[in-house]
Structure 1
Amino acid sequence: MRQEPLSVTGGETLASALRRRLEADIADGRLDPGTRLDEQDVAQRFGVSRTPVREAFRLLASDRLVELRGRQGAVVRSIGVHTLIEMFQVMGELEGLCARLAARRASPRQLERMTAIHARLEAAAESGPDLFYDVNQEFHEAIYEASCNVFLAEETRKLRNRVATYRRRVTRMPDRIRDTIREHAEIMDAIAGRDPERAHSVMRSHLTLLGDNLLDFIAAFE
């Protein structure tokens, strides 16, 4: 196994740096739900001892990203369809609040950044769902930043990372890319127009699976 460099930022422990890397692997779909994480394999991958790996697994378990199964080790958590739908509903409210606050607080620079990312998103529509999803994440991150509420951004990001693998599946649903571009334009219009109520409403609708989209998602999930 080829060893990968592990960057440790100021104030981070080895365990928290490992947690960050493994969380990114889960969010990016490199570690699918149900994947077993082996202590020794992870330790060899990053060139560390097994002690920080165990602590990283505990940190991931506290965020409900993995399950600790005794001698079986850690397993990337799978989410049932009904729980997942509930999580999407909560996600819609959290991101809706981010959009509401952004409509009140976004600076001209932040509005320009959203517009630039949206233009890149439109260009990425022809490059397939993976690149589109990555740029889409940037767009949502820009709204978290524009909310000017660090705690809200952190909590929203935590839940987003728990459902990230499944949000990728939504991106692959028929017409979802086209609909996402249209919905993002509505969100930007509400934020730039300083309309908090509308910003919240359109963002919530953007994240919540309803009607045919919900039925299509359940069919694909099962």
Structure 2
Amino acid sequence: MTKHPTRTRRAQALREMLENDIATGRYPAGSRLDEVTLANRFEVSRTPIREALIELSVAGLVEIRPRRGSFVRDIGIARLIEMFEVMADLEASCGRLAARRITSVELARLKAAHEACNEAQRGGDPDAYFRANQTFHETIYAASHNGFLAEQALHLQNRLKVYRRLQLRVPNRVSNSLAEHDQIVGAIAAGDAAAAAEAMRQHVLIQGERFNDFVASVAAHRQETSAEQINAAE
């Protein structure tokens, strides 16, 4: 039976709000996502909440445990680094193919997304930057004109969304990210597949000082959310 489009949109909107709550630490790793509590909070029935949680489970952000409920998944640092390594290779492949296959319309969209990132950075709006950055990357996925590759890249991007947002908290990361975007756009516009692939790989890969900064950012985030939970309980 086909889902009603209104209900599907409602579940999608709820999924995005819960995803953002996980990303910003409202629901830290290990938190139980109670359907009744969430239904009361969003003033909806439990059905769209349940559908949203299932979608988050498919994305790897939530673990649904039989007879126990849904919990925010905790991913260890070592596992995260492995996931970013795979993400770097997927995005490198997207960049390489995009440099060979991008259309003029897609290139205009890519440049517009890059400019939106610049505007968000100038305005000091990290949430706007995060959204524009997502559009930037997804435009490159689409420009690869390889549907399977784009699906895999988007799936892993969604799994890492919480932690990619955390990366932007690291000092100077946004300005460095913009400089890397310049290199990526230039390589793709020039049709330089090798340069585009390497620029995308280095943009995503966590290594050297970026590794240390990332680990520190994740640790600080977890400490903050733990402290908030303790304060709320007192």
Taking structure 2 as the reference length, the TM-score comes to 0.80
Contact 1:19 1:60 in 2 (8 A): no
Distance 2:15 2:155 in 1: 10
Q: What is the correspondence of 1:68-79 to structure 2 with a 5 Å cutoff?
A: 68-79=64-75
Distance 1:81 1:25 in 2: 25
* TM-aligned CA deviation for residue 41 of structure 1: 2.9
SS of 2:170's equivalent in the other structure is coil
Structure 2 unmatched ranges of 5 or more:
220-234
Structure 1 unmatched ranges of 5 or more:
1-8
* TM-aligned CA deviation for residue 87 of structure 1: 0.8
Contact 2:14 2:49 in 1 (8 A): no
Contact 2:11 2:48 in 1 (8 A): no
Distance 1:165 1:151 in 2: 23
* TM-aligned CA deviation for residue 55 of structure 1: 5.0
What is aligned with 1:201?
198
What is aligned with 2:59?
63
Instruction: Provide closer, same or farther for how the CA distance between residues 62 and 125 of structure 1 changes in structure 2, counting only shifts above 3 A.
Output: closer
Tell me whether 1:111 sits opposite 2:140 in the alignment. Answer: no
Distance 2:54 2:205 in 1: 30
SS of 1:125's equivalent in the other structure is helix
Taking structure 1 as the reference length, the TM-score comes to 0.84
What is aligned with 2:230?
none
Instruction: Provide closer, same or farther for how the CA distance between residues 177 and 55 of structure 1 changes in structure 2, counting only shifts above 3 A.
Output: closer
Instruction: Provide closer, same or farther for how the CA distance between residues 65 and 108 of structure 1 changes in structure 2, counting only shifts above 3 A.
Output: same
Identity %: 42
Residue identity matched to 1:149:
N
More deviation in 23-32 or 179-188?
A: 23-32
Instruction: Provide closer, same or farther for how the CA distance between residues 124 and 58 of structure 1 changes in structure 2, counting only shifts above 3 A.
Output: closer
Contact 1:103 1:190 in 2 (8 A): yes
Tell me whether 1:20 sits opposite 2:16 in the alignment. Answer: no
More deviation in 120-129 or 108-117?
A: 120-129
* TM-aligned CA deviation for residue 12 of structure 1: 5.3
* TM-aligned CA deviation for residue 217 of structure 1: 1.1
What is aligned with 1:133?
130
Deviations 1:100-156 (A, max 9, x none): 111111001111111122122112112232221111111111111211222222221
Give the ranges of 4+ consecutive aligned residues of structure 1 lying more than 6 Å apart after TM superposition.
none
Deviations 1:85-109 (A, max 9, x none): 1111111111111111111110011
Tell me whether 1:82 sits opposite 2:84 in the alignment. Answer: no
SS of 1:68's equivalent in the other structure is strand
Cα root mean square deviation, aligned: 2.4
